[in-house]
A and B are shown apart, each in its own frame.
Chain A
């Protein structure tokens, strides 16, 4: 996604299974394997709830309508939104939902294409504490079946939801370890400064 920003550049390697992300793999192919949830909920405003979830499959040429219904239902159930929207699936626009619901809709949309990795870029920073709680609960359920990478500025959130934590400073990976270790006995001074609140 950073390729849409001309000034952005990356060094180092990112690998997903046998896929080398920064080395000659097409962006479209990578995006098909990584689901992404953005900071601000961004459902397609002109599409119904159903079409929002089905968008990823439909736009990639998926045409089996019967299976599509199942996939939409399963994705919405996975993102714990099904019960709230099942009566208005095709009648209401994705933009008519509340912020927290929209974010769960976006998660369902990302899940529908069955990614291997789910990338969440501060998924709760635009949400209130109750919606945040729901999303975090969701993360707990989803991490049984998907690999989730979550970016957060909220240390408590990191310590609540993550098994492994990496600490980035100015775009550089400072330390990566089990979450308990990062938060109790980090090996780098800068990590310690950050988690003890000396800066940031």
Chain B
């Protein structure tokens, strides 16, 4: 388990660290032939895309999971949702890209970060939904009983007690989904498209780290290959940083001796 991870990391640092400098984080890409240039726009672009994706994927996924575990148990609707989530989980990301392309990009007549975010968000839903469901089902029956015995209505007991008790697991699920889509390239090719200029307007084509890495790595230029390595390193470090940050923030409220 650890060996491949370490190998990837060491190789990335070996290849990528040499081209990492302040420019990489502060400058936009420059045309071929010019030296220097960075991926500032792609870093910000990735952040925006993932933000939009999480805004869609996390709430929809969590509500779906709550429904599956607490309200829809055994109902046909729940079976249908569970089946859909599993199928959605298996949809290849390139197919997701094309689907969003025809549903949003074509009617809009231009590429946009928004459509890319939607594609990423939909890809997050199944993971978030199923982990939420499983974490909720792991909450002991005694805890639910305790809440109901206090005369708390069922919906309130679910939201305030069961979901809260399962929240560490639910957050892990969200982080897994987040980390997974953070590196997705395929669904962005037809949606966010990529952009060599700086933009934060979600209605325009936008650069993203995985896209930039893809383009640079396929190019015939040595300078760009180096930047692609650096981009890969930054992408991984940023994912780890984002996940750790969320874990740190959410763990501050945990009490001594809480299980």
Which residues on A are within 8 Å of B, measured CB to CB? 1, 4, 27-33, 35-36, 38, 40, 42-48, 55-56, 59-60, 88, 91-93, 95-97, 106, 109-110, 113
Contacts and interface: CB of A to CB of B under 8 A. Distances in A.
Interface stretch (B92-100, B111-119, B153-161): B153-161
9 contacts: A38-B146, A43-B146, A46-B255, A55-B161, A56-B152, A92-B257, A93-B258, A95-B258, A109-B146
Interface string B123-150: 0000000000000000010110111111
Given A38-B142, A92-B257, A31 B160 contact: no
Contacts of B151: 28-33, 56, 60, 113
A44 B256 contact: no
B167 interface: yes
Nearest to B255: A93
B75 interface: no
Nearest 8 pairs of A and B residues by beta carbon: A96-B257, A32-B151, A56-B150, A93-B258, A42-B142, A36-B149, A31-B151, A93-B255
A47 B253 CA distance: 10
Given A59-B152, A93-B257, A96-B257, A42 B164 contact: no
Contacts of B28: none
B149 A59 contact: no
Nearest to A26: B153
A42 B150 contact: no
A113 B150 contact: yes
B145 A44 contact: no
A32 B148 CA distance: 9
Contacts of A43: 146
B132 to A, nearest CB: 16
Nearest to B160: A59
Nearest to A96: B257
A31 B25 CA distance: 59
B172 to A, nearest CB: 15
Contact of A45 (B145, B149, B160, B259): B259
B191 interface: no
A1 B142 CA distance: 11
B150 A110 contact: yes
A1 to B, nearest CB: 6
Interface of B: 140, 142-143, 145-153, 156-157, 160-161, 164-165, 167, 254-259
A28 B149 CA distance: 8
A145 to B, nearest CB: 19
Given A44-B143, A44-B165, A31 B259 contact: no
A36 B257 CA distance: 24
B166 to A, nearest CB: 9
A46 B257 contact: no
A95 to B, nearest CB: 5
Contact of A91 (B142, B148, B161, B256): B256
B257 A109 contact: no
Nearest to B164: A46
A42 B160 contact: no
A48 B254 CA distance: 9
A139 to B, nearest CB: 18
Contacts of A47: 164, 255
Contact of B148 (A4, A29, A44, A95): A4
Contact of B147 (A59, A91, A93): A59
Nearest to A37: B149
B118 to A, nearest CB: 33
B92 to A, nearest CB: 38
B150 A1 contact: no
Given A93-B255, A93-B256, A95-B258, A46 B150 contact: no
A61 to B, nearest CB: 9
